[in-house]
Chain A
Amino acid sequence: MIREAEAKEYAKDLEVLLAETDEILANTEQNLVLLEKAPSDSALLQELFRAMHTLKGGAATLGLEEAVSVCHGMETVLDEVRTGQRSVTSEMMNGLFKVLDWLKDWRNAIGEGAEGPPASGILPVVEALQICPSPSEGPQSNVPLKWPETCEKLPAKGAAGALTASLEALVSQGNPVYVLTVRFRTDAPLLSVRCFQVLTLVEEVAEVAGSSPSLEDIENDKASDALTLYVVGEKESEQAQRIAATVQDVVEVSVRRYTVNTTIAGASSPDKKPEIRVEKTALGKTVRVDVALLDSLMNMVGELVIDRTRLSQIAARLMSNSETAAVGSEISSLASHLQRTSSELQDGLMRARLLPLKSIVGKFPRMVRDLSRRCGKETVFSMTGESTEMDRTVLEAIDDPLIHLLRNAVDHGIEMPDERERLGKPKAGNIRLSAWYEDNQILVRVEDDGAGMDPERIRRTAVKKGLITEEASRKLSEQEICELVFLPGLSTASETTEVSGRGVGMDVARQNLERVNGRIELWTRPGEGTQVTLRLPLTLSIMRALLVKCADEVYAIPTSSVEEIFSLKDQSIGSVRGKQAMKVRDRIVPLVSLKGVLSDSPWQRDGSRYALLTRTQAQPVALGVEELLGEEEIVVKELRGLLSRVRGVAGATILAEGDPAVILDINRIL
């Protein structure tokens, strides 16, 4: 029982930790890229250090030791750089990126409930980092500068002998001196700080003539599990004993009168230390909401809509009778108010689903950097409009296309540095990602000032691959030829390099966008660069739906119309007056098969393996389906013209594989 509760608690903790880890890793990645350009930016270093520190703390709390040791290594290096003991080298940068990659793998493994990768795989890199030499070239001294200790050395106020003398002097003056012996748990962490805490607290109530270990030693972390304080006054020493006993990790406090012989030193004097300043972080007035919660809210709104429909029906019934017409019309106006409210609710929830572009572009600077290095190119990557918000589904749909476009920009767009110099361009190529709102659309653009596309080469490839005839290709403008890259099957020869290879081409990018009602536009000019613009809808009609398979076709059934899903076993199916039925708890529910319903013979027995308990307006019905493919968020596409009035068909959607699927309106199909 307790174990179960613990496991639950752990799962909750892990969830929070993972969310935070994602943020930390994304920020760290961006900051590392920045650090490479500004290796002595202290705010940046501080931020990086803090991030590792936070992550380490979180991992330690959940006992994820492997990550703790890796974070610790990274933290140490960053700390040394931060405090000026080391400086950033490119070797160090590479190591830091490697460690970051390990942490990402670790996060993914943990997120999937797997064991994280063993730290042994990365610890050598961490160790190498720690001994990574500072750059020896340049005029500056090779000797690592020791930053002033955070806790400066204090002048010892009174040597050991002097303490004995002063204690004896106190005693001789008639001041009773008491020896307070405080024992700590031997395994208590930060013993010296505990000592310091006791000392400080006792000093508030009594005069402390000295201590062992001395204040200086305590401040320098020389302490054991025993602390002796020399306190003046009988009453005061009793108070001191009480206070000391309240301190954590203290197991015993004893007091005795001072007689002779002990060696102590000490006094306290506040010292100054460099203050820590961290770049101001913008803290928006936002809260984190689990998407699952939003979805369940959305489903509840769906139920509201169903209730409203029922209310309207009842109202209509009442209004048709003159005796109840007055009540009916009252209910009717209530129903229409309910409709307004629920559609506003729906709008609000849709807005709550919006996420900033920021949430997917964080990885891009690093990606562009790595790609550029691998291609031997120099690039300057900039982003604007990262706070532009769009629906989660849209964000997911443009993630891969953006990656592809950026890869293209680096691999095919930007020329080699010497080539660029020869052309009179700046050595480093510019790649820009920008996003903004325009009319009722969102535009996201990737542009570069590279070589542009070569229409002649694209034309020849397209002809060679039989995508267009030589004759037809001659009639196209250069712009039209360049747009051939969106055709499936056309990828220019160099597309298969290590960098661009990933199997996602421009045609897939286009397909992804079309799924979410977006468009992709291309502008290119040889020698000047390429600009690809994604046009995205501001709002989307999205629903959660179950995808089911029936007679080899996939259908989408809105989740909101399904109450429960059962796996069908023969014994749970019975028959009532010759019609199939199944028992759901204490109810008998008619069982029809989707296949049968679609071919207008609902009672036919078939190989249904699952039953969906539907939420129809009148009576629940169990709908048998052959296969359940899962639950997904789908973009609803309206069917017009010929298919606009087909009973039971609510629209269509395009599945991830690109095939269309019909969305069934369960209430109307039964």
Chain B
Amino acid sequence: MATQLSGPPVQISAERQIVAFSLGSELYGVDISKVREIIPSQKIVRVPRAPEFVEGIINLRGRVIPVLDLRKHFGLPRSQSAEDQRIILVEDEYDSIGVVVDAVSSVMQIPVDSIEPPAQVIVGPDVEYIEGIAKVDDDLIVLVDLTKIISDAEKRTLKEAKNP
């Protein structure tokens, strides 16, 4: 997937490839290198007593993997599962983890200079997961680091399990 470079690595790309998805009315983006696969929505089975942002588990070709609902993470209202719903699979330490999103719009090329650092735009508890805000046409796309969200969540649950 990644382009092999033969020449010196200078200014080969002033663009980032982003998978853009929507959650409710907001647009988010995740770097394409972190995305393993995008699959259509499928039956998600609830896991009792799992951390709140874990939507449940799915059968991914014989593997049982957890699926997260970022809305809870971002404090967005729960939406009814729509037809466009997709599951973005990203890698974590163990296997894959799914993230439910309302729709995947497309893969975009975003010029690096149109991305602004987050601190200037918003402040909040989630700021550390936000890589930046990109302005594309009239839309604002929040670039998030899904891997970091997930690994932090894992660490937190492990800690909670140790000290209940």
Contacts and interface: CB of A to CB of B under 8 A. Distances in A.
List of 9 A-B pairs having minimum Cβ-Cβ separation, nearest first:
A514-B62, A645-B161, A598-B48, A652-B64, A640-B94, A641-B94, A637-B64, A660-B59, A660-B57
Interface stretch (B16-24, B29-37, B39-47, B121-129): B39-47
Contacts of B116: none
Contact of A641 (B45, B46, B61, B95): B95
Interface in B132-164: 150, 153-154, 157-158, 161
A511 B63 CA distance: 10
Interface of B: 43, 45-51, 54, 57-59, 61-64, 66, 68, 92-95, 97, 150, 153-154, 157-158, 161
B64 A646 contact: no
Interface in A451-495: none
Contacts of B63: 514, 637
A641 B97 contact: yes
B107 to A, nearest CB: 12
Contacts of A640: 94-95
Nearest to A600: B49
A180 to B, nearest CB: 80
Given A640-B95, A659-B45, 12 more contacts: A514-B61, A598-B49, A639-B64, A643-B47, A645-B157, A645-B161, A646-B48, A649-B48, A652-B57, A653-B64, A660-B64, A662-B57
B62 A642 contact: no
Given A598-B48, A649-B47, A649-B50, A513 B97 contact: no
Contacts of B64: 637, 639, 652-654, 660
Interface of A: 510-511, 513-515, 517-518, 553, 598, 637, 639-643, 645-649, 652-654, 658-662, 664, 669
B48 A662 contact: yes
Given A517-B62, A654-B62, A642 B51 contact: yes
B94 A660 contact: no
Nearest to B43: A659
11 contacts: A598-B48, A639-B64, A642-B157, A645-B161, A652-B45, A652-B57, A653-B64, A654-B64, A658-B59, A660-B64, A662-B47
Contacts of B97: 641-642
A647 B95 CA distance: 21
Contact of A515 (B48, B49, B62): B62
B99 to A, nearest CB: 12
Contacts of B150: 642
Contact of A642 (B43, B59, B154): B154
B161 to A, nearest CB: 4
Interface of A is mostly: mixed
B50 to A, nearest CB: 5
Contacts of B43: 659
A252 B51 CA distance: 90
B49 A648 contact: yes
B62 A553 contact: no
Nearest to B151: A641
Contact of A646 (B49, B61, B62): B49
A654 B59 CA distance: 7
A623 to B, nearest CB: 13
B59 A659 contact: yes
A511 B61 CA distance: 7
A641 B66 contact: yes
Given A658-B59, A660-B57, A643 B45 contact: no
A383 B92 CA distance: 43
A639 B154 CA distance: 13
Contacts of A654: 59, 62, 64
Contacts of B51: 642
> Which of B49, B58, B66, B161 counts the most A-chain CB atoms under 10 A from its CB?
B49
A649 B49 CA distance: 8
Nearest to B61: A514
Contacts of A645: 157-158, 161
Contacts of A637: 63-64
> Which of B50, B64, B93, B154 counts the most A-chain CB atoms under 10 A from its CB?
B64
A510 to B, nearest CB: 7
